[in-house]
Amino acid sequence: MSIPELIIQTWPRLLAGLGMTVQLTIMSLIIGGTLGLIFGLLSVSKKKTLRAIALVYVDIVRGTPLIVQAFFIYFGIPAALGIRLDPNLAGIITLSLNAGGYLAEIFRGGIESISKGQMEAARSLGLPYGMAMRKVVLPQAVRTMTPALINQCIITLKDTSILSVIGIQELTQTGRLIIANNYQTFEMWTIIAVMYFIIIMILTKISKRIERRMSYGKSSN
């Protein structure tokens, strides 16, 4: 069968797989982004214990492979607790924790790249720390972080393919299941690769546009 014929035959399943991939990515980035912000803020705290908590989290995420994290959360923890975990839920937890660790580092770097004088100027006007962080430091930090944030989005999207090992029917797993039926290995993996490529290219294009629009003087806030 030719590639176009294969596409016509399998597109509903491929699209469902892609939908799952996108869904996992978005959910994980929302939760991971929140974790990243929280742990990023902890890592720039004046309090040693808070910084230590952030450091331990980031080190665990960076110090273990994603596939091991997925196995640990899907098989390990449920075995210890005697429960069953839905693979999709386990997948989202894994990816969120993983992205959260890397995003925490991105937030820390972004916040630390803003001159101390900004925080001091805001505090000297009587603003509480939280408000100064939220309204003065973070908006500037996010701007400098934008390229790294987009990069993390792309990495997380690609990392969803690793979740195929715990049986989530995202795009890669869908491809494997289709090939198990039709043995069109070369053609199917070509189609899957192109699908990932297109999605990531679209993401890159959108992000470049956002980046350009975020330069000072043009935005209004």
Partner 1 sequence: MGKVVIKSLKKSFGDLEVLKDINLEVSEGEVICIIGASGSGKSTLLRCINALEDASSGTVEVDGHDITGAHANINKYRQDIGMVFQQFNLFPHMTVLQNISFAPSSLKLKTKAEAQARSMALLKRVDLEEKANVYPEQLSGGQQQRVAIARALAMDPDVMLFDEPTSALDPEMVGEVLAVMKKLAHEGMTMIVVTHEMGFAKEVADRVIFIDEGYIVEQGPPKEIFENPKNERTINFLNKVL
Residues that bind partner 1 (CB under 8 A): 115, 117-118, 120-128, 131, 135-136, 139-140, 143, 216-217, 219, 221
CB of 130 to partner 1, least distance (A): 10
- Identity of the residue, 106 or 141, whose beta carbon is nearer to partner 1 in the bound complex: 141
Looking from the CA of 70 toward its CB, the CA atoms found within 13 Å total 19
- Identity of the residue, 62 or 134, whose beta carbon is nearer to partner 1 in the bound complex: 134
Answer for the pair 105, 41: CB distance below 8 angstroms, yes or no.
Answer: no
- Identity of the residue, 78 or 128, whose beta carbon is nearer to partner 1 in the bound complex: 128
- Identity of the residue, 64 or 124, whose beta carbon is nearer to partner 1 in the bound complex: 124
The amino acid at residue 220 is S
CB of 134 to partner 1, least distance (A): 10
CB of 131 to partner 1, least distance (A): 6
CB of 171 to partner 1, least distance (A): 38
- Identity of the residue, 12 or 126, whose beta carbon is nearer to partner 1 in the bound complex: 126
The contacts of residue 14 (CB under 8 Å, 6+ apart) are 7, 171, 174, 175, 178, 191, 192, 195
Answer for the pair 203, 19: CB distance below 8 angstroms, yes or no.
Answer: no
CB of 2 to partner 1, least distance (A): 54
